[in-house]
Structures are given as structure tokens and as C-alpha cells.
């Protein structure tokens, strides 16, 4: 019993201490000259879907949920945001070259079709990101049209 109490005590101490590990949650400012929805004049409906389903990890407009402030969950959230952004960041779309844009549109269609994006774990806490079949198709068709007409 004594040992169990000691272990619990130290777990609590460590939990309390890790809350002090700093995490940078500041978003970079949006440059409208390279921001996807601005340069593509994305229709509001599509832009809304992107915002509610993809932006938290693929833009500089991340809105961090409350649980993202509690370590170690916050570390996992931040790592998904960093990883997501480093691969695809709609806020800096205009800086991508032709190949990268084509690749991303293709991969995004694939991800929507196979339901690998938005990340399944994320949908559990973000009901608005749980896209319907129709919404997935709408988003996918928008990307496909862009790819076909080379208007990326
Ligand atoms: C909770 C965070 C999160 C959300 C929300 C999210 N993604 Fe992702 N996305 C990631 C992460 C992390 C990766 C990289 C790891 C992987 O591929 O699983 C990724 C990878 C991708 C890739 C592959 C990029 C490459 O390198 O080929 C595409 C495309 C993509 N996401 C599109 C989307 C789209 C479209 C949405 C919205 C419908 C979305 N994602 C929503 C986190 C997210």
C-alpha cells in the first residue's frame, strides 16, 4: 500500500510538472496572396467544409480545443498539427510548385474517398468535421475540377 501511494504521488508530481513544458500555439499570420481560399476564390460552401474539417491541421488558422492545453495530450495535438501543416498547408498554397499542388489535390481526393482524412480520431471530438458522403464528394469534385482544368 505504501509503495502504491508513493507511485501515485510521483505520477501526480510528474503530471503537474509536464504542464510547464512550453508549447507554441501561435498561428502564423495569413498572407492573402498565397492563401488557398483567397487565390482560388473558393465558394463559401467549400471553404466552410475545409475550415471545419481540415484547417485545424492544414492551415495557419488552427483553433486549439480545450484538451489541447493538457499535457501530454497537448503534445500529441501539436505533433499532429506540425505534421499536417508540414505536408499540406492551405495558408501557403501559393508557394507550392506545380508538382506539389497536383500531388496534394490527388492525395486529398484519395484521402476523402478512403476516409483517412480528416483523421478518424479527430472526428470523435469534432462533429463538424465528420463529413457526410455528399460533402466528401463535393470537396473531392472541387479538387478534381481544379486538377483537370489545371487551375491550381
Ligand atoms: C487532426 C489533424 C488533421 C485533420 C483535421 C486533417 N488532417 Fe490531413 N493530415 C494530418 C496529418 C498528421 C497528416 C500526415 C500523416 C498522414 O498522412 O497520416 C496528414 C496528411 C494529409 C495529406 C497527405 C499529404 C501528403 O504528404 O501527401 C492530405 C492530402 C491531407 N492530409 C488532406 C486532408 C484534408 C483534405 C482534410 C480535411 C478534409 C484533412 N487532411 C484533415 C492531420 C490532419
pLDDT attached to residue 6? 96
| pLDDT band with cut points at 50, 70 and 90 for residue 39 | very high
62 lines ligand 1 (CB under 6 A): no
Question: Average per-residue pLDDT in the chain?
Answer: 96
Mean predicted confidence (pLDDT) in 84-104: 97
- Grid cell, residue 145, equals 475540377
Contact between 138 and 96 under an 8 Å Cβ cutoff? The reply is no
pLDDT in tens, 117-143: 999 999 999 999 999 999 999 999 999
Q: How far is the CA of 52 from the centre of ligand 1 (A)?
A: 13
Q: How far is the CA of 139 from the centre of ligand 1 (A)?
A: 14
Q: How far is the CA of 116 from the centre of ligand 1 (A)?
A: 8
- The CA-atom distances, in angstroms, between 108 and each of 23, 56, 137, 147 are 28, 15, 12, 11
Whether the predicted pLDDT of 1 surpasses 80: no
pLDDT in tens, 53-65: 999 999 999 999 9
87 lines ligand 1 (CB under 6 A): yes
49 lines ligand 1 (CB under 6 A): no
Separation between Cα atoms, residue 118 and residue 129, nearest integer Å: 7
List Cβ neighbours of 77 (8 Å cut-off, separation of 6 or more): 64, 65, 67, 68
Q: How far is the CA of 57 from the centre of ligand 1 (A)?
A: 7
- Grid cell, residue 47, equals 471553404
- Grid cell, residue 135, equals 460533402
Amino acid at each position: 500500500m505504501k509503495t502504491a501511494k508513493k507511485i501515485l504521488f510521483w505520477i501526480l508530481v510528474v503530471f503537474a510538472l509536464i504542464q510547464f513544458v512550453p508549447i507554441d500555439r501561435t498561428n502564423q499570420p495569413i498572407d492573402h496572396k498565397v492563401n488557398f481560399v483567397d487565390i482560388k476564390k473558393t465558394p463559401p460552401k467549400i471553404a466552410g467544409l475545409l475550415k471545419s474539417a481540415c484547417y485545424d491541421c492544414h492551415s495557419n488558422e488552427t483553433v486549439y480545443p480545450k484538451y489541447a492545453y493538457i499535457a501530454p495530450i497537448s503534445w500529441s495535438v501539436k505533433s499532429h498539427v506540425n505534421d499536417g501543416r508540414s505536408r499540406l498547408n492551405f495558408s501557403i498554397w501559393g508557394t507550392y510548385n506545380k508538382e506539389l499542388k497536383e500531388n496534394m489535390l490527388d492525395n486529398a481526393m484519395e484521402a476523402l474517398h478512403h476516409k483517412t482524412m480528416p483523421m478518424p480520431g479527430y472526428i470523435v471530438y469534432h462533429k463538424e468535421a465528420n463529413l457526410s458522403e455528399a460533402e466528401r464528394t463535393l470537396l473531392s469534385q472541387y479538387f478534381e475540377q481544379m486538377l483537370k482544368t489545371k487551375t491550381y
